Amino acid sequence: MTRKELFKNTLRKSVHAWKLINELPLSDDESLMLRHFMDQPGFLDLHWRMFVPAIKGQGTEEQKQKWLPLANKMQIIGCYAQTELGHGSNVQGLETTATFDPQTDQFILHSPTQTSSKWWPGGLGKVSTHAVIYARLITDGKDHGVHGFIVQLRNMDDHSPLPGITIGDIGVKFGNGAYNSMDNGFLMFDKFCIPRDQMLMRLSKVTREGKYVPSDVPRQLMYGTMVSVRQTIVSNASIAMARAVCIATRYSAVRRQFGSQNGGIETQVIDYKTQQNRLFPLLASAYAFRFVGEWLKWLYTDVTQRLEASDFATLPEAHACTAGLKSMTTSATSDGIEECRKLCGGHGYLWCSGLPELFAVYVPACTYEGDNVVLQLQVARFLMKTVSQLGSGKAPAGTTAYMGRAKHLLQCRSSIRKAEDWLNPAMVLETFEARALRMAVSCANNLSKFENQEQGFSELLADLVEAAIAHCQLIVVSKFIVKLEGEIKGKGVKNQLKNLCYIYALHLIHKHLGDFLSTNSITSEQASLANHQLRSLYTQVRPNAVALVDAFDYTDHYLGSVLGRYDGNVYPKLFEEALKDPLNDTVVPDGYHEYIRPLIKQHLRSARL
Ligand SMILES: CCCCCCCCC/C=C/C(=O)SCCNC(=O)CCNC(=O)[C@H](O)C(C)(C)COP(=O)(O)OP(=O)(O)OC[C@H]1O[C@@H](n2cnc3c(N)ncnc32)[C@H](O)[C@@H]1OP(=O)(O)O
Ligand SMILES: Cc1cc2nc3c(=O)[nH]c(=O)nc-3n(C[C@H](O)[C@H](O)[C@H](O)COP(=O)(O)OP(=O)(O)OC[C@H]3O[C@@H](n4cnc5c(N)ncnc54)[C@H](O)[C@@H]3O)c2cc1C
């Protein structure tokens, strides 16, 4: 399809999904799940996932009563317009202004520079009638920083942009179908006025006289929508990883290459240890991210309830966990989808394998809702603050509780003596705790050598990111172990999940062996025992690998992959797909007479001469 056809088709599908959501007796989770299983990103996603939550989180009661009924019935369609051409990561650097005019009791929205143009918001370019706009609030000549505003963008009768608004789509993005079904847009204001009551005033407000009343709660609650989406992105990483792994595992069981004894059947590529070494950690990651995503959803729900009671105690932890786990799981999943493409050899590069499209749609997850490095730096900041308080007697809690055992963890030596010890949850957990703590303390010690903390932080950015990743990996391993100790039905299932849990943990030790050795968390002998155990775990998982991806229960339609078909009938279906290609409509291609024939004829002519 052309981009316009693709876009219009996505509108059709989004409206159809909305109709279904309305007609079917669905729970909120089910209707969200329905949107999850839409093939391509569309405006529906951001209306529900960002525009509505922003109003819920930052609007006053009366503002919610005014706007949510319209949004819930989709009588207005909204987007989340924060990022600008010049600023995305640095929210406090946004340039769009909202200047209060006491004469008219209005805010004047303006894009003072080209870099202040809103740029990227999904649904902004062509669909949304409204937006939550983030702009610098200026009143009485004072800049009070970035705040949220509800702004109508288009005429509700003919969808034309309102006067003072220039709006459009930012153009084609990475990949063929992929995110091009979404109208990520640009928007400039030219002294565009909105009523004062369209400033989202739950956190802070401006009085009729133009007086700014600051928030009596942490200003970062304004970032609440991003935190909520980051939390969902972790579970979504599991779904995307599971899709890719399902395709690659099923195809690896179908594909045979080399290894035939005297003309016999060739070897299934899933039996090669290299294939297992690349594939099974990804299979384990799909399960690991699902379980940590379940836990993160609990954490986010808990912090949301606490915030309602003005209890901000776990807000820093929630921010660090959503930021760090979003960053870690999306990076691993993007790399994992690409690895699954390579695991399928040449056929993985075909569009009909489903992997190129999955990769193209998925990879922006490393950037949207926060660049992954920028988010890990937030985790690093949280860890440095926690380490600095270790001596204060304030026991760290939650995911940093292990830091409370710093004395032991800084000097303990791993008691791993044989390969089987790597199946001991306490020993595995302590290994990850020691590595994470020692990396964080090492960063803190190095920071303390700098006169100026800011300068030290900027000098040590790369080390700090690695310490943050170590902390996040510990969280994922620990939540997998907790899940195993929990209520898993069925002994057989539990055994298989145990294998995957330790494949996940031990593959990380192998992948980040430098950290574990340089922090003396393990010895090279213990590392060798871990590798030995890993190989044994691959052998145990191999007979159940296909069952473990069948367990994701994805339909062939949803997988969209000839290689990942449930029936494994790959080769005939590859031909079927190939013959559907328009290039095969004729046996002699367009262009033969203009280009190929004259070329050959010319050769024939010169050959005759
Ligand atoms: C389902 C799948 C399909 C999902 C489908 C999704 C579709 C894609 C849609 C995409 C949408 C978008 O991309 S929307 C736009 C997303 N944009 C972003 O994510 C921008 C990323 N940048 C930021 O979030 C911010 O700029 C950040 C990096 C945190 C820096 O913010 P500030 O400068 O205001 O704050 P700092 O000075 O760094 O920190 C000050 C203190 O505030 C704390 N703090 C910072 N952020 C906080 C937060 N969110 N919550 C609590 N506390 C926070 C810090 O820990 C510090 O605490 P102390 O240390 O105690 O002082
Ligand atoms: C598909 C897609 C959909 C999007 N949808 C929306 C939307 O609906 N609404 C919306 O508001 N936005 C949206 N965005 C924008 C997105 O949120 C931003 O692109 C994202 O936050 C990254 O910010 P940036 O582009 O400024 O990256 P930059 O911060 O410019 O990143 C560039 C590089 O600089 C590095 N960097 C930046 N700051 C630091 C630092 N302090 N220390 C070390 N390194 C640093 C980064 O790690 C990165 O390598 C979308 C983006 C994409 C790709």
Question: For residue range 110-122, what is the model confidence (pLDDT) as tens digits?
Answer: 999 999 999 999 9
Nearby residues of 154 by Cβ (< 8 Å), 6 or more positions away: 128, 129, 160, 161, 162, 165, 167
pLDDT at 40: 61
- Band (pLDDT 50/70/90 cuts) for residue 346 is very high
* Greatest Cα pair distance in the chain: 96
Tokens representing 70 are: 């319209």
Q: How far is the CA of 295 from the centre of ligand 1 (A)?
A: 20
Tokens 């009768």 sit on residue: 157
Strand order in the sheet with 165-169: 118-119, 185-189, 165-169
Indicate the residue type of 301. T
Look at strands 118-119 and 192-195 and give their pairing. unpaired
What SS3 state is found at 282? Answer: helix
pLDDT at 393: 80
Give the Cα separation of 232 and 403 in Å (integer): 27
Give the Cα separation of 58 and 69 in Å (integer): 16
The mean of the pLDDT values for the chain is: 94
pLDDT at 36: 56
Give the Cα separation of 555 and 539 in Å (integer): 28
Q: What is the DSSP letter of 395?
A: -
Q: Whose CA is nearest to atom 47 of ligand 2?
A: 373
Quick: pLDDT tens for 288-300. 999 999 999 999 9
Look at strands 185-189 and 165-169 and give their pairing. antiparallel
Q: What is the DSSP letter of 460?
A: T
3-state SS record for 198-246: HECCCCCEECCCCCEECCCCCHHHHHHHHHHHHHHHHHHHHHHHHHHHH
Q: Whose CA is nearest to atom 16 of ligand 2?
A: 368
pTM tops 0.80, yes or no: yes
pLDDT at 491: 84
Which stretch of 37-41, 52-56, 588-592 has the lowest confidence by average pLDDT?
Answer: 37-41
Tokens representing 511 are: 């992948």
Beta-bridge partner residues of 161: 154
Q: Does residue 381's CB lie within 6 angstroms of at least one atom of ligand 1?
A: yes
Q: How far is the CA of 508 from the centre of ligand 2 (A)?
A: 27
**Are 108 and 55 spatial neighbours (Cβ–Cβ below 8 Å)?**
no
Q: Does residue 92's CB lie within 6 angstroms of at least one atom of ligand 1?
A: yes
CB atoms within 10 A of CB 65: 10
Nearest Cα to 476, choosing from 508, 435, 498, 499? Answer: 508
Tokens 């105690």 sit on residue: 313
Atom of ligand 2 nearest to the CA of 87: 26
- pLDDT at residue 19 greater than cutoff 90: no
Quick: pLDDT tens for 522-554. 999 999 999 999 999 999 999 999 999 999 999
- Band (pLDDT 50/70/90 cuts) for residue 488 is confident
Q: Does residue 374's CB lie within 6 angstroms of at least one atom of ligand 1?
A: yes
Which stretch of 25-29, 98-102, 558-562 has the lowest confidence by average pLDDT?
Answer: 25-29
Give the Cα separation of 113 and 141 in Å (integer): 19
Annotation-wise, does 249 bind a ligand? no
Between 95 and 36, where is the model more confident?
95
- pLDDT at residue 35 greater than cutoff 70: no
pLDDT at 204: 96
- Band (pLDDT 50/70/90 cuts) for residue 130 is very high
Give the Cα separation of 186 and 563 in Å (integer): 39
Give the Cα separation of 171 and 186 in Å (integer): 10
Give the Cα separation of 60 and 197 in Å (integer): 10
3-state SS record for 285-322: HHHHHHHHHHHHHHHHHHHHHHHHCCCCCCHHHHHHHH
339 is catalytic: no
Average pLDDT over residues 165-173: 97
Average pLDDT over residues 296-312: 93
Beta-bridge partner residues of 199: 149
- pLDDT at residue 574 greater than cutoff 50: yes
Atom of ligand 1 nearest to the CA of 235: 1
Run of H or E residues at 100: strand 97-101
Nearby residues of 427 by Cβ (< 8 Å), 6 or more positions away: 414, 415, 416, 421
pLDDT at 39: 47
Nearby residues of 521 by Cβ (< 8 Å), 6 or more positions away: 414, 431, 434, 435, 438, 515
Q: How far is the CA of 173 from the centre of ligand 2 (A)?
A: 15
User: Of residues 84, 317, 338, 369, which has the active-site annotation?
Assistant: 369
Indicate the residue type of 415. S
CA 154 distance to own-chain centroid: 30
Annotation-wise, does 122 bind a ligand? yes
What SS3 state is found at 595? Answer: helix
What SS3 state is found at 144? Answer: strand
- pLDDT at residue 432 greater than cutoff 50: yes
- pLDDT at residue 219 greater than cutoff 60: yes
- Band (pLDDT 50/70/90 cuts) for residue 38 is low
CA distances in angstroms from 509 to 468, 477, 526, listed in the order given:
16, 11, 10
Which stretch of 19-28, 337-346, 429-438, 482-491 has the lowest confidence by average pLDDT?
Answer: 19-28
Average pLDDT over residues 235-264: 95
pLDDT at 64: 97
Nearest Cα to 361, choosing from 383, 334, 390? Answer: 334
Per-residue exposure over 83-113, b if at least 16 CB sit within 10 Å of its own CB, e if not: bbbebbeebeebbbbbbbeeeeebbbbbbee
